[in-house]
Amino acid sequence: MAQSFRALLDLCKRRGFLYQSAEIYGGLRGAYDYGPLGVELKKNILNSWWRQNVYYRDDVVGLDTSIITPHPVLKASGHVDEFTDLLVDCTLTKERFRPDKAPSVKFLPFAEKPESGEIPIEAPDKETAKAWQKTIQEQLAPGIVTSVHGKNIHLHVKTLVEPNENGEGGSITFKANGVPELKICYHGYVEPTTNSPFLTDSRPFNLMFKTFLDPIDPIERVIQTTKKHDVDSKQSTREAVDEVLRPSTVYLRPETAQGVFINFEQVTRTMKTKPPFGIAQVGKSFRNEIRLEHGIFRTPEFEQMELEYFVAPWESGHWFSYWRQRRYNWWLEHACYPKNFRQRDHGKNEMAHYATGCTDVEYLYPWGWGEVEGVANRGNFDLTQHIKNTNANFEVVEDEVRISPNVTTDHSLIPKEKPARYVPHVVESSCGLNRAMLAYLCDAFHQVVDETGTNKQPRTILKLDPRLAPIKCAVMPLTGKAEFMPIVEKVAKSLRRQGWYTVVESQKLKIGKRYYRHDEVGTPWCVTVDFQSLEDGTVTLRDRDTGAQQRFAWQDVKKHIGEKLSDADDDN
């Protein structure tokens, strides 16, 4: 599976889906640029999401809010104080990671609870292994018994005590020379890459990118505040600096949702709407992730497709179930292997304190199940917080309580007074566009071997849903002769006018190899213009998945492709 994922990443770079950002300057860790085909694939996924959630409905509108977000907005929402992950440092490798994603320690032999054994620490190479062994023996655990085997350092263990449910009380006791007992704390996990148990205690780490919207360099104010601050003051230097910088402090938004919430009243006023209705938004968000991994799966800059659906409190359970199923169906609609998608309901200990329900859609990536979307019943927490901090008018007032037909209702939540007043509850669908792209690439990536031919090397077919495919059609002259080009250009022009990305593939390669090149990037149809085309105006249309070829008048190609794309939409 890992080999297949590496092959996919190689394809993405080689054929123009993904590039390492600033590669000519050595690259920027966790940052990627989307090439010509990556842009198209991402846009097609976004368009499918927008069509289903906005254009196919009469109760959802769109919004595009600012990325730069003032401090008070994120203070009210809880992000300034609570939007944190726990952070752990490995004192040996200097790597940082989240403990909730880290594995437990592995032994040689791989026993779960050995009476004694050896912990292997895997270094990148033999030289690093020797350097790490020296650091362990001289700084981290003086006197410890170790041995080096190639690029692995083996720590000789005497006993291991597992931590309790609170992550406390765990320890590892090592065999040592010259000391009666050599023990370190063990919280139930190790550094994920190397299996190192030499870790700091966990500490909270705020995930937001902070910056300053100010014509004057804020560093100068930091310097002046630090110089003037009285060391005997009850206020710490950090608190004094934060206070002087607060008026100009802004953040790169960590999610698109807050921009929707603070515009709730303006949208209802301008669009003359009341719950149930939704506001959809697609845009960039930023999180200072501790661990960047798996290509575009976890990056500091990413795009979200979010829908905030506002409902009456007594109907929130119904709408949560509705959107939970509807969003899952969207993922299955475009999948080659639906069984590799699943829903996972959160336990009570996983949900935010204000949520009454949360379900993740997960995809089985080569490294395991990973979240691609979350659907949550957020209650009225967000709107209420902004009301408290701004006195905004987010209440809905109705002379008569409206109960929607065919909607399960919790009558205990219906207001008794007239007119009825309530703050809407929110059912949120939050989907990562970058993760969606990676999931559909993994789902579509096929390597096949032609058992009948002499070439036993596998070739790649990217079986993307035609609606998502970056290139809809490749038009190919049989040879490089100029006489084919007038019809080639006519076919390409007729398809481009439908809004389909179409390329002319006139490389000096055999037609079969050109077909295979487009199989590799997921092009669902190829059109060949040959000598018969010059006689009767017909062309050959070849299907990516079946290899079937049909002959049409060149004017009918757009009709055939249009019907195929339309049928896919009509089926869902």
Note the pLDDT tens digit of each residue in 367-377.
Answer: 999 999 999 99
194 touches 90 (CB < 8 A): yes
Give the pLDDT of residue 168. Answer: 84
What pLDDT band is residue 384 in, cutting at 50, 70 and 90?
very high
Going through 213-356 in order, the beta strands assigned E by DSSP cover: 249-252, 277-286, 301-311, 341-345
Instruction: Tell me the pLDDT tens digit for each residue of 104-156.
Output: 999 886 545 555 588 999 999 999 999 999 999 999 999 898 999 999 999 99
Instruction: Write down the CATH number for the domain with range 37-69+254-441.
Output: 3.30.930.10
Q: Which amino acid is at 291?
A: R
Residues above pLDDT 90, as percent of the chain: 63
Q: Which two tokens stand for residue 450?
A: 């032609």
Whether residue 559 has pLDDT greater than 50 = yes
Give the pLDDT of residue 223. Answer: 79
Whether residue 347 has pLDDT greater than 80 = yes
Whether residue 170 has pLDDT greater than 50 = yes
Instruction: Tell me the pLDDT tens digit for each residue of 301-340.
Output: 999 999 999 999 999 999 999 999 999 999 999 999 999 9
What pLDDT band is residue 452 in, cutting at 50, 70 and 90?
low
For the chain, the C-alpha Rg in angstroms (whole number) is 29
Give the pLDDT of residue 301. Answer: 93
Whether residue 184 has pLDDT greater than 60 = yes
Give the pLDDT of residue 491. Answer: 95
The whole-number average pLDDT for the span 185-204 is 91
Give the pLDDT of residue 108. Answer: 80
Average pLDDT in the chain = 89
More confident residue, 229 or 269: 269
Closest CA to 394 of 259, 272, 268: 268
What pLDDT band is residue 220 in, cutting at 50, 70 and 90?
confident
By three-state DSSP, how is residue 268 classified?
A: helix
The whole-number average pLDDT for the span 416-430 is 93
Alpha-carbon distance of 141 to 405, in angstroms, equals 69
Whether residue 516 has pLDDT greater than 70 = yes
250 touches 69 (CB < 8 A): yes
Domain boundaries, the chain: 37-69+254-441, 88-204, 209-251, 471-570
Instruction: Tell me the pLDDT tens digit for each residue of 480-508.
Output: 788 999 999 999 999 999 999 999 988 88
Whether residue 567 has pLDDT greater than 90 = no
Give the pLDDT of residue 111. Answer: 46
Whether residue 25 has pLDDT greater than 60 = yes
Whether residue 258 has pLDDT greater than 80 = yes
What pLDDT band is residue 63 in, cutting at 50, 70 and 90?
very high
H helix intervals, 29-115: 36-50, 71-77, 79-82
More confident residue, 223 or 299: 299
**Distance from the first to the final alpha carbon of the chain:** 31
The residue whose two tokens read 């007594």 is 314
Residues above pLDDT 70, as percent of the chain: 95
What pLDDT band is residue 382 in, cutting at 50, 70 and 90?
very high
Q: 94: alpha, beta or left, given left = phi > 0 and alpha = psi -120 to 50?
A: left
Give the pLDDT of residue 130. Answer: 93
471-570 adopts what CATH topology? Rossmann fold (3.40.50)
